Structure 1
Amino acid sequence: MSSDPQAPHFLKKIVSREDAPRRLAALPRPIVFTNGVFDVLHRGHATYLAHARALGGSLVVALNTDASARRLGKGPDRPLNNEEDRAVMMAALESVSLVTWFDEDTPLELITELRPDLLVKGGDYDMDTLAETAVVKAYGGKAQAIPFVDGYSTTALVKKIRAAPGGR
């Protein structure tokens, strides 16, 4: 992302979708894959990502692009942080090995390209109903839901901020 020699080392974790397969090949296996918007990082995200990373040798996080995130219906002004800022915050986390993006509504095509060993999603997903699960299982991978940390949600946090005096 940056060619500045003074840039933080973790920025090297951020890769374009085109470079992701090559970079993924060099990561320790098994490769765990998760995805999401990760708009405003909070304790729930950090706990979820650490749990996901503990399930394998590397954790790949695929972020929804800004356009993809807007199509999720979280609100016209979401995401609050743009995709590059979200990628930097994600890459700064010790648990994250690689960060890339996808512009589609789901990461199905990216998962097909990268072929991770394990697909993980938050506990609100029924893994058996996801097309991504079928793809991962078809090539011998696994899929698993990770429980949420109760009480943490970016959408709830945004509502709380907006409800506060001076919020918009």
Structure 2
Amino acid sequence: MKKITTMITVLILFALQSKSQILQPVKWSYAAKKTSATEAVVFIKATIDAGWHVYSQFVKDGGPVKTTIDFTPSNTFAMVGKATEPQPIIRMEKAFGMEVGFFENSVIFQQKIKLKARQVTVSGKLEYMTCNDQKCLPPDDIDFSIPVK
């Protein structure tokens, strides 16, 4: 009887532990590729769990938190234009009362840079919001650092 009580207690604790884990439906990865001796492209990729989505960089005010990529200024590179993204899925979202653009499964944001040095590391902060059809998670901030080789 003591073994059964111990086993039930362990199972209950295990169940509570797995319920309290932080939900992270988006995984971010980074890369850079030189396109010439003086230019490169930085890639920021979101891999999104099934049923979830992240929002475009171009969501209008009053909607969900848009994806924002802030690059830390540096003397070793210069930004060329703004970060680009593929065509998002656009849908009316009742929760926000407006049409919004978002991405499912995965998305790659790209930023062209002009190189001013041999050794370049692009760093910055990424803010994004993740939702599914039932709920939205609080916006999240992630620091990144991408070596350009």
Shorter chain as denominator, the TM-score bin is: under 0.3
TM-score (norm 1): 0.25
The structure that has the greater radius of gyration is 2
Relative to total residues, which structure has the larger strand share, 1 or 2?
2
TM-score of the superposed pair, with normalisation by structure 2: 0.26
Higher helix share: 1
